[in-house]
Amino acid sequence: MAATDFKDYYSILGVSKTASADEIKKAFRRLARQYHPDMNPGDRNAEARFKEVSEAYEILSDPDKRKQYDRFGQYWQQAGNGGGWGAGAPQGGATAGGFDFDFSQYANFDEFLESVLGGVGGRTRSQWSSYGGASPKSSSRSSGFSGGFEDFAGYNRRSTGISLDQEATLSLSFAEAFHGVQKRLNVSGQKVSVRIPPGAKTGSRVRVKGKGKKDGYGRQGDLYLNIELKPHQFFHFDGDNLVCDVPISPDEAVLGAKIDVPTPDGTVTVSIPAGVRSGQMLRLRGKGWRLPKSGARTDQLVKVDITPPSHLSDEERQLYERLRDCRQENPRQTLEHLGL
């Protein structure tokens, strides 16, 4: 590594050489937030800057390592040489930072660095200088970094692009969805108790905070429940409104009638106007589905279905025959002159 590649950790953190430990920690937190890969997905420059900031804090947050860096910092440019000291490298009796130091006892500069810095969490210098410069929290020699890193906003070293959120499908009856329900689920071996608010329907998503997957750093994502409603024998949806099909007899259609119609929260009496047509919709305002956010009710649409009797008594048949014989209106009159 060329001499110009020497890293000034104080400059990287933007602090002076006399900065206190608290000032160094504050500078690291600010820069780590700014350049963390999770905050800058796909930005290689930010990732490289984050590595530098992490490496600088790893050294300057440890009083012993900082002291060694202040004393031998100019020789860090020799790191990674791998072989001997190389041409121009310091040998026995060389002066380091104004102090006499015997380098002849080390085979190469990496050995010297390992002696000065020690392994971080059982890793070599080259290993801890990889992504993030982070070392396991359990390592007492790296606790300065791990503690400071986890202090701010819960950020942890982890792979980017991997979501800890989890999804599951929850099937509900119309009654459960309309009134709301408390459910106890088993999701990936985890028991989850969740309250489904009134008004959920197929396509609704319910977020359960902190019940997703866990990682090795104490983080846990959220669980998202995708709601599916079981088919109902009477109701179905038209947008947010409820629709139901109600059969009426021919005489009710001709003469009008009052009939009982089920709604989600009880039966109501509906007036069928005289002369209603099959397929015509009658609107029951405020008798439909619940809206989760406002709690208001949509409308219920009653679709009229004129249904002839399947079995006729002799008297009924005679009356229908009389109606047929005396009927004056031809319902197909408009079709008489149609043709290609």
Q: Which domains does the chain have, with CATH numbers?
A: 3-151 (1.10.287.110), 166-229 (2.60.260.20), 235-326 (2.60.260.20)
Confidence of residue 99 (pLDDT cuts 50, 70, 90): very low
Residue 333, φ and ψ in degrees, nearest 5: -60, -40
State the number of CA atoms in the 13 A half-sphere of 186 facing the CB. Answer: 1
pLDDT of residue 235: 96
pLDDT tier, 74 (very low <50, low <70, confident <90, very high otherwise): low
Please write the tens of the pLDDT for every residue from 12-28: 999 998 999 989 989 98
Per-residue pLDDT reduced to its tens digit, 162-212: 788 989 899 999 999 999 999 998 887 888 899 999 999 999 999 999 888
Checking if the pLDDT of 98 tops 60, the result is no
Label residue 89 by pLDDT band (50, 70, 90).
very low
Over residues 299-328, mean pLDDT: 94
- Binned at pLDDT 50, 70 and 90, residue 161 comes out as low
Q: Which of 313, 268, 272, 314 is nearest to 287 (CA)?
A: 268
Per-residue model confidence (pLDDT) at position 195: 92
Query: Given pLDDT bands bounded at 50, 70 and 90, which one contains residue 256?
Result: very high
Which residue spans within 75-145 are E strands per DSSP? 94-96, 99-101
Residue 153 has φ and ψ, to the nearest 5°, of 50, 20
Secondary structure (DSSP) of 180-242: -EEEEEEETTEEEEEEEPTT--TT-EEEETT-S-B-TTS-B--EEEEEEEPP-SSEEEETTEE
* 305 touches 245 (CB < 8 A): yes
Mean pLDDT, residues 307-327 taken together? 93
Strand partners of residue 223: 166, 208
Average pLDDT for 210-222: 84
Nearest CA to 144 among 224, 256, 47, 28? 28
Task: Identify the band that residue 102 occupies on the pLDDT scale cut at 50, 70 and 90.
Answer: low
Report the C-alpha gap between 113 and 94 in whole angstroms. 16
Measured CA to CA in angstroms, residue 11 lies from 16, 20, 178, 194 at distances of 8, 14, 62, 51
Paired tokens of 41? 């997905």
Q: How far apart are CA 32 and CA 133, in angstroms?
A: 12
pLDDT band at residue 250, thresholds of 50, 70 and 90? very high
pLDDT at residue 96 greater than cutoff 60:
no
What pLDDT shows up at residue 304? Answer: 97
Number of Cβ atoms within 10 Å of the Cβ of 70 = 14
Q: Which has the higher per-residue pLDDT, 142 or 258? A: 258
pLDDT of residue 176: 95
At residue 291, does pLDDT exceed 80?
yes
Average pLDDT, the chain: 77
Residue 322 or residue 220, greater confidence: 322
> Does residue 49 have a pLDDT over 60?
yes
- CB atoms inside a 10 Å sphere around CB 18: 7
Report which residue type is found at 173: S
Give the pLDDT mean for 229-251. 95
Residue type, 211: K
Q: What is the pLDDT of residue 188?
A: 78
